[in-house]
Amino acid sequence: MLSSLDEHQLLVFWVQLFTLVAAARGLGAAARKLGQPAVVGELAAGLLLGPSVFGKLWRRGFAWFLPADTVQGGALLAVGWIGVALLLVVTGFETDLGLIRRRGRAAAAVAAGSLMVPFAFGLGTGYLLPRAFLARGTQRGVFALFVATALSISSLPVIAKILAELGLMRRDFGQMTLAAGMANDVVGWLVLGVIAGLAGSGGVSVSSVLVTLAGMAVFLAVAFTVGQRAVDAALRRTRADGGGIGPALSTSLTAAFAAAVATQWLGVEAVFGAFVAGILLGRSRFQQDGVREQIESMTLAVFAPLFFATAGLRVDLGLLRDPTVLGWSAVVLAVASLAKFAGSAAGARLAGLPTREGWALGAALNARGALEIVVATVGLSLGVLNQAAYTAVVLMAVTTSMMAPPLLRMAVRGWQGTEEEQERLKREEVLGRNLVVRPRRVLLPSRGRPGSIVAAQVVHLAWPHDTAATVLSMAGSDEPEPDVRPIVNVLHDRPHEVKRLVGVDDPVAEVVAEAKLGYGVIGIGVAENPPPGRLLSGFVDDLLLASPLPMVVVRRALNLDRPLPAAFSRALIPVSGTKASRAAQEIAYNLAAQLGTDIVLTHVINRAGDSDDVPAAVAAEVTRQAETHAGELSVEARSTIRSGASAADEVLTTAAEEQVDLIVLGATARSVEGRPFLGHMVEDLLERADPTVVVVTMPNEAPG
């Protein structure tokens, strides 16, 4: 039977939540105004509301606010642990395993150095600390091991929060810090389990340690194989059911809690499972847009501030009035920080990383935070640490967490990283703002005709090379299966798969259903000469109106004597201020970045003979914005502004004058009398233009 909190306990609980969240949010905002991450203010909120300040100023009020009641304290801490688990889920979303894998040797060296050097110095410090820090009856060796563990580990939740708030999560050293922090956490929990066994029984079972290690290995192996497939299947079902972000959010949280249960059962700690779950959820191609933002918003707004505030509640600075406690607490803090910096720098040097990166890694990994507090709490409960030692360790945890942001700022000030890293970050920033060219899987329906090959070529050149593609081979029940090998050959060096759609009654509905399963765009080739009464073809016309995604429609050059056009040497982009036009620019500029294609921009003022200066000013601004957009991808573009009664005629004239072999433009698919309408200019160009024409169509509610 569940036993409820009584009325008084509920009142205290709600007052605790209100006070801690309000104080953490307020001091977090103040910290940001002072140029520090919010986590500094959130930890300070706990210090102010704990025994160090509030407990000294108003003893009766403090006793009411934080009573010595296990149930009352457990309720508050449970909410805090939910917060740290959610924070680790968000961190998992941000973790780039590919980047860590590419720098695996360096990450391993940094993780080893940042653990082993502080552990060795911590062991020595544990033997040097006065007897006044040992609980009665504690063996010096066990105590020294506890101190060594406390000094060697880092706090992944605090590190993640600091990196996120400073905008450093995607930096190379940021990802390496997460990898090293993850290793610190895992090793920390394992070592803590071993030492707790020593303290509890005077010895430790080798078999229990091996079982824990084997369990962790099995968990990781299952998580990244069966677990990834299970997550994909669950998220795929939520997409297929069309329930929106709600079911995807609940599915994601369920997966995170399941992983947390598994690792807690293994004795490693639930937050590690939540972190792994975040990685799996972020890697899934079926994840809904906005789920990460939803989890991140509620975590950073409420749960994370509450967790960091509760961490500060445990410190009693009054014990520092004893000179011995104060002096040796300072020694513990100094040894912990210097050893962590030295170990991280040594690991970085061993891996051949720049000295600057080694110091940045040390500054970030120096944050001990929550994990340290758990170690101290376990030590206190097992009778290994007394109150003085507990305060010294927790003070070191809080102080190093507060030191980390300013030290990290100093370490990275003016340091932009390697040219390769800068290029990657710039590319990620641009991709994050893009409407169509984004790292989301591409769907390529095809009947094996030449237009599909050109469409695959355009998509392959414009999209990031690690973006996966699905070729959907389509045929009627009385048609032979098309040969899509030429399309697959175009996509040979990117992740791809082939699915078959044969003999279905409603191919448009099948393609739309497939498109909802985590794709970002549909690429499709069309014939040069459409059937009578159709804009492009019966299938493509219907798909234009039904598609929930942007489409890249490619009509290859007229009168070609070969399947593929020559390499696109010069492209013309008719520009306007619409989303569809920007999407078309994304494709053209990425093509140019890959091929060195010359880019010519044109804007047609469709008001011939108008003496008003306003259209000319608008045209100048539209082309300026398009040129700026090109510059973001290091692509040079030149502009021309034309005016005339027929926009299509002006574009065709420009295409002839510039001798372009590619025209890329945007359109919005609208239904007019049951057929798609892309605009007079677009439809005219599809019919009359000799070069290859790429039309990027945006649905009325395009995903943004």
pTM over 0.75: no
Q: What is the pLDDT of residue 703?
A: 40
Q: What is the pLDDT of residue 197?
A: 59
Q: What is the pLDDT of residue 141?
A: 83
pLDDT higher than threshold 80 for residue 505: no
Backbone angles phi, psi at 415, to 5 degrees: -110, 115
**Span 114-134, average pLDDT:** 92
CA–CA gap between residue 533 and residue 238 (Å, rounded)? 38
**Span 124-141, average pLDDT:** 87
CA–CA gap between residue 391 and residue 371 (Å, rounded)? 15
Q: What is the pLDDT of residue 662?
A: 94
Angle 96-97-102 from CA coordinates, rounded to 5°: 105
45-49, 418-422, 622-626: least confident range: 418-422
pLDDT higher than threshold 80 for residue 457: yes
3-state secondary structure of 529: coil
CB 41 within 8 A of CB 29: yes
At 668, the amino acid letter reads: T
Q: How many helices (H) and strands (E) does the chain have?
A: 29, 12
Q: What is the pLDDT of residue 704?
A: 37
What are the structure tokens assigned to 258, written together?
């399941």
pLDDT higher than threshold 60 for residue 377: yes
Percent of the chain residues topping a pLDDT of 90: 36
pLDDT higher than threshold 50 for residue 36: yes
pLDDT higher than threshold 80 for residue 194: no
| pLDDT confidence tier of residue 480, bands split at 50, 70 and 90 | confident
CA–CA gap between residue 144 and residue 500 (Å, rounded)? 64
**Span 603-632, average pLDDT:** 80
Looking at per-residue confidence, does 310 or 312 come out higher?
Answer: 310
Q: What is the pLDDT of residue 375?
A: 75
**Span 239-259, average pLDDT:** 87
Give the residue among 515, 507, 443, 512 at the shortest CA–CA distance from 479.
Answer: 507
pLDDT higher than threshold 90 for residue 354: no
Domains belonging to the chain, first-starting first, are: 7-413 (1.20.1530.20), 430-557+567-698 (3.40.50.12370)
CA–CA gap between residue 445 and residue 456 (Å, rounded)? 10
| pLDDT confidence tier of residue 230, bands split at 50, 70 and 90 | very high
**Span 223-234, average pLDDT:** 93
Q: What is the pLDDT of residue 512?
A: 92
Q: What is the pLDDT of residue 658?
A: 93
Q: What is the pLDDT of residue 43?
A: 79
pLDDT higher than threshold 90 for residue 245: no
DSSP 133: G
CB 275 within 8 A of CB 236: no
Ramachandran assignment for 235, one of left (phi > 0), alpha (psi -120 to 50 degrees), beta (any other)? alpha
CB 209 within 8 A of CB 194: yes
CA–CA gap between residue 396 and residue 389 (Å, rounded)? 11
Give the residue among 227, 228, 247 at the shortest CA–CA distance from 288.
Answer: 247
Q: H or E element: which one contains 32?
A: helix 7-33
What are the structure tokens assigned to 687, written together?
């019919």
CB 508 within 8 A of CB 536: no
Strand (E) positions, 385-450?
Answer: 441-446
CA–CA gap between residue 565 and residue 129 (Å, rounded)? 77
pLDDT higher than threshold 70 for residue 35: no
Q: What is the pLDDT of residue 2?
A: 64
pLDDT in tens, 73-121: 888 888 888 887 888 888 788 777 776 677 678 888 998 999 999 999 9
What are the structure tokens assigned to 47, written together?
């210090």
209-213, 251-255, 589-593: least confident range: 209-213
CA–CA gap between residue 173 and residue 358 (Å, rounded)? 9
Helix residue ranges per DSSP H, 95-169: 97-102, 104-128, 140-152, 156-165
What are the structure tokens assigned to 61, written together?
């009020």
| pLDDT confidence tier of residue 185, bands split at 50, 70 and 90 | low
Q: What is the pLDDT of residue 563?
A: 52
Cα 632 → chain centroid = 22
**Span 218-234, average pLDDT:** 92
CA–CA gap between residue 544 and residue 2 (Å, rounded)? 56
Cα 389 → chain centroid = 38
pLDDT higher than threshold 70 for residue 371: no
Give the residue among 47, 34, 36 at the shortest CA–CA distance from 408.
Answer: 36
| Residue with token string 């069966």 | 226
**Span 645-668, average pLDDT:** 93
